Structure 1
Amino acid sequence: MEALLPIIVQVITGVIGGQAVGAAFKTAAMGQLPKILAGAVGGVGGGAILGSLLGGGADPATAGALGGLLGDAVGGAGGGAILTAIVGAVMGAMNKSA
């Protein structure tokens, strides 16, 4: 369960970040499924990147406060928002060119 908790936090916060970006940029014309998927994938990626940058590592006993669940949440929300914005921009450009 200890190994699954950071991934669950990253997915949930990634979806929240993706939904926030999707609501902010209504011109992206994205449906719910692309926002959820991009947010979840971006959340896991962002949480993993931030966790490694902050020294969270694989050993939770050595992880600091920011390297733990807070880092997972911040990285997840940021990664989910960034990837959803990228996907929204690509989808918007594809809709304009078609």
Structure 2
Amino acid sequence: MDIVSLIIQLVAGAVGGNVAGAAVKQYSLGTIGNSIAGIVGGGIGGQILAALVPSLAGAAAGGGLDIGAIIGQIVGGGVGGGVLMVIVGIIKQMLAGGQKAQ
């Protein structure tokens, strides 16, 4: 794993978090919140995808960045960012709902 791969995953995660926030407005955390959750999720999602499918991490090309590796990192980061943003949004909504009931 090199720094370029990590940067791709983090940027894709931020984009994925904001896209998920726009698509599922009831769980949106705002632009900054979506971006932060997306960045964290992008890093985690990219690492998980790289572990599950090593050829998407560039392992098949000797660790280099080919188009398949870049696409895999974008997909892993974007999906990971979107998923984590929705999970955090659901938890935030549940906590806010619980406080209102008291």
Q: Bin the TM-score by the shorter chain.
A: 0.7 to 0.9
> Residue 9 of structure 1 contacts residue 72 of structure 1 at CA under 8 Å; is this kept in 2?
yes
2:18 maps to 1:23: no
Q: Deviations over 1:62-82 (max 9, x none)?
A: 57754x111111100010000
Identify if the C-alpha distance between structure 1 residues 95 and 29 changes in structure 2 by more than 3 Å, giving closer, same or farther. farther
Question: Kindly tell me: are residues 29 and 35 of structure 1, through their superposed partners in 2, closer, same or farther at Cα, counting changes over 3 Å?
Answer: closer
Identity, % of aligned positions: 31
- What count of residue pairs does the alignment treat as equivalent? 96
Matches within 5 A, 1:63-82: 66=68, 68-82=69-83
Distance 1:73 1:14 in 2: 8
Check conservation: 1:29, 1:92, Cα contact below 8 A.
Answer: no
CA distance in 2, matches of 1:29, 1:78: 16
- Bigger helix fraction: 2
Instruction: Tell me what 2:46 maps to.
Output: 47
Flag as ranges the 4+ runs of structure 1 deviating above 6 A: none
Please report the TM-score for the alignment, with normalisation by the length of structure 1: 0.84
Give, in whole Å, the separation in 2 of the partners of 1:13 and 1:29. Answer: 17
CA–CA distance in 1 between the matches of 2:28 and 2:58? 38
Q: Name the amino acid aligned to 1:30.
A: L
CA-based RMSD of the aligned residues comes to 2.2
| Alpha-carbon separation, structure 1, partners of 2:19 and 2:28 | 14
- Report the Cα offset of residue 30 of structure 1: 1.6
**Which segments of 5 or more consecutive residues in structure 1 lack a partner in the other structure?**
none
* In 1, Cα distance between equivalents of 2:63 and 2:28: 43
Q: Which has the larger radius of gyration?
A: 2
